Amino acid sequence: MSSSPVFAVAHRGASADAPENTVAAFDEAVRQGAVAIEFDLRLSADGEMVVIHDETVDRTTSGQGRVAALDLLDLRRLDAGSWMHRRFAGIRIPTLDEALLAIGPHARPVIELKVPPPAGLVDHLRKYDLEREALVLSFDRSWLTAVRRMSRDLPLGLLSEGWHHGLPEAARQLDAEVLAVGIDAVGPGQVKAAEGFGLELWCFTANDIGMVAACAAMGVTGIITDHPDLIRTRQSAR
C-alpha cells in the first residue's frame, strides 16, 4: 500500500458546493485547493463550445431541450444556478473560453469530451498557453486518437468505468498519460499495472473521506471528487 501524496481533481468544479460546470463551481474548487478541475464539453447548435454535462439542459438549467439544438444565445439565456439554490440564481452556462479563464491561472483544466473533439479545441487552448497544461479525457478511444492528430503536445487520458487486462496497454497505445477508472474497479493491482505502462491511475468519483483514504492508500494519483476539500495534500497535477 502506498503513502504517496495525491491530489484532488474537482469533478465539474466543487460540485457539492456550487452548481456543477459553472464558473462558481470552478472558483470554489480553486478556493478549496484543487490543483485540477474537470469539466464537460459540448457544442451548441451554432458550433460554439459550451460547458455542460448532460445531452439536454433540463436537469441543470431553467430550460428544456437538447444542447445541440440550441444556439449559444439561447443557452446563455438560461439560469444554470437556481436548481441548486436561489443564491446561485442568474449563473450561466459557461463557454470554453470562460472555463479556461477561470481555471487556467490557478489549476489544471481537465476537459471531458461529450462530443467528438471540436476543430477549434486546440486553438482555444493555445490562446491561453494551455496546450501542454490541460488534459483531455474521453471514454471514446477514437475521439482521443482524433485529438492526438490535432496536437502532439496535448496530454490525454482514457476513461473507463471498469477494468480489463488490456486497458493500460490500450491507453498507452493512445499516447495517453492518465488512465481514469471507476472507483469500484480500482485496487493496488490496477495501480501497479498502470504504472507498468508509465501511466498515472486516477479514480472517480470518491465523495467521502473513507473512499478518499482508500484510493490514496492504493497509490492512486488523482482523485476525482465533488468535494475537493476532502483531500488536504497539495501537489501539482502538472
Domains of the chain, by residue range, sit at 7-230
Q: What is the pTM of this model?
A: 0.95
pLDDT value of position 234: 43
Known active-site residue 11: yes
Rounded CA-CA distance 34/184 in Å is 23
Q: Look at residues 81, 80, 9 and name the one whose alpha carbon lies nearest to residue 38.
A: 9
Q: E strand or H helix at 61, and its extent?
A: none
Compute the C-alpha angle 93/97/101, nearest 5°: 100
Could you tell me the maximum CA-CA distance found in the chain, to the nearest angstrom?
51
pLDDT mean over 53-64 = 98
Confidence label for 113 from pLDDT (cuts 50, 70 and 90): very high
Does 53 qualify as catalytic in the annotation? yes
Would you place residue 151 in the very low, low, confident or very high pLDDT band (cuts 50, 70, 90)? Answer: very high
pLDDT band at residue 5, thresholds of 50, 70 and 90?
confident
* Active-site option among 53, 85, 165, 227: 53
Please state the rounded mean pLDDT for residues 122-131.
98
CATH code at 7-230: 3.20.20.190
The lowest-confidence range among 12-21, 207-216, 224-233 is 224-233
| End-to-end Cα spacing for the chain | 24
List 11, 106, 124, 227, catalytic entry: 11
| Contact between 162 and 181 (Cβ < 8 Å) | yes
The answer to whether residue 131 scores a pLDDT higher than 80 is: yes
